[in-house]
Amino acid sequence: MTATLKVIVAGSGVLGASCALVLARAGARVVLTDPARLGDNASGVAAGMLAPVFEAALDPLAAPHFDLLLAARELWPGFAHSAGVELDRTGALAVGSAERLDRLEATLADLGAPAERLSRTDAEARAPGIRIGEAGGLFTGEDWRIDPDQALGALIDAARAEGVEVRRAPLQSSEACDWRLLATGADPAPGGLAPELARLEPIKGHILRAPGVAYRGAVVRGEGVYLSPGGAGVVIGASMERGAHDRAVDPAQVERLSQAGEALFPALAGTAFAAGVGVRAASADGLPLVGFSRTAGVLMAAGARRNGWLLAPLVAQVVTALVFGSEPGPWAQRFAPQRFEPGGGAY
């Protein structure tokens, strides 16, 4: 490896920050540039679940990629430890009707994903204060979480400590470098670089936070809603509004989520929620576009849909291997940016 490669990373969400950190550790000279305030993006709004099991069970686009999602999650303990990110491994609990739990249990058995059916009493012990029905719950210890505020701050601090220069500015396409990495989320590719990113679809998402309302337990996956602990209070998410790229708060979405949250966690009754909105970027198969653009000197890492936090260490590993010309590993092919084009996608 050489210490002389210069990489400019555009976008300091979780993908850009993780790539900047891992590239710098590998010996690159890295500039991380973003005009927005840290966390003023999908990464800062997210719930922070690292959830290969229930994402594969609940999201049809995630199911075929359970192996990859699990591999990404496996990287988290080392990644979190080395960057000062606090990892919560309490696990996750699905609740609802017996029919729903039966269905989820069967799906997870087909995937070979570990989960345990719990009685109502045992489920209540995993999720104190959550309203659990007669059917009990379905628990996995394999889904974890981070707090996005803490984690993003820690990643940027760790990147700075590795020598990354962090700038609050948009990408300057005139600045000399060996590689530009576009980690610009759902925003258009700056300067028309990386035309591949035009394939990404925006998916707006509302999420609620209940400042001051504490919950210490497993992440709860209800029907059309989840509830998670959070540094700034309980987190309730999230809507999936395909095609919408604006960040305006829609009172109807807030109302739906607050009612669903209160039904799950009665302690939320009467809470004044803080609504957040973020825009995910998504490809047709739910995985991000990670790798070389047809534009010379440009790579991309964008389009992680609803699993950007989960995927970040794996994305950073693949990007770093590509920049340094080493073998990008078994998952890189599934991320190939040209995979939707006829004959595209091979490294």
Q: Which residues bind ligand FAD (CB under 6 A)?
A: 10-16, 33-36, 41-43, 45-49, 170-171, 183-187, 190, 205, 207, 237-238, 278, 280, 302, 304-310
Closest distance to ligand FAD from the beta carbon of 254 (Å): 12
Helix ranges, the chain (H): 14-25, 42-45, 52-58, 66-74, 76-83, 98-111, 120-126, 148-161, 251-264, 308-323, 332-335
In the complex with ligand FAD, which residue's Cβ is closer, 4 or 174? 174
217-229 b/e (C-beta count within 10 Å ≥ 16 → b) = bbbbbbeebbbbb
> 307, 309, 310, 300: which is closest to 335 by C-alpha?
300
- Cα distance between residue 306 and residue 284, in whole Å: 13
| Residue 93 Cβ vs ligand FAD, minimum distance, rounded to whole Å | 15
**205 vs 45: CA distance, rounded Å:** 9
**Residue number with CB closer to ligand FAD (8 or 104):** 8
Output 129 or 308, the one with its CB closest to ligand FAD.
308
Least distance to ligand FAD, CB of residue 179, Å: 15
Q: Which is nearer to ligand FAD, 25 or 305 (CB)?
A: 305
C-alpha 70/C-alpha 85 separation (Å) is 19
Residue closer to ligand FAD, measured from CB, 117 or 256: 256
CB of 133 to ligand FAD, least distance (A): 24
Judged by beta carbon, residue 124 or residue 241, the one nearer ligand FAD is 241
> CB of residue 134 vs ligand FAD: minimum separation in angstroms?
29
Distance in angstroms (rounded) separating the CA atoms of residues 73 and 50: 7
Phi and psi, residue 51, nearest 5° = -125, 70
* Pairing mode of beta strands 49-50, 29-33: unpaired
Least distance in angstroms from the C-beta of 49 to ligand FAD:
3
DSSP 8-state secondary structure symbol assigned to residue 298: E
Determine the Cα–Cα distance for residues 53 and 43; give it in Å rounded to an integer. Answer: 20
Contact 288, 267 (CB under 8 A): no
CB of 164 or CB of 304, closer to ligand FAD:
304
Strand partners, 239: none
Q: How far is the CB of 240 from ligand FAD (least distance, A)?
A: 9
Give the nearest distance from C-beta 287 to ligand FAD in angstroms.
11
In angstroms, give the least distance from the CB of 102 to ligand FAD: 25
Angle formed by the axes of helices 14-25 and 148-161, nearest 10°:
30
- The letter for the amino acid at 283 is S
Nearer to ligand FAD, 135 or 207 (CB): 207
Q: What is the maximum span of the chain, computed from C-alpha positions, in angstroms?
A: 63
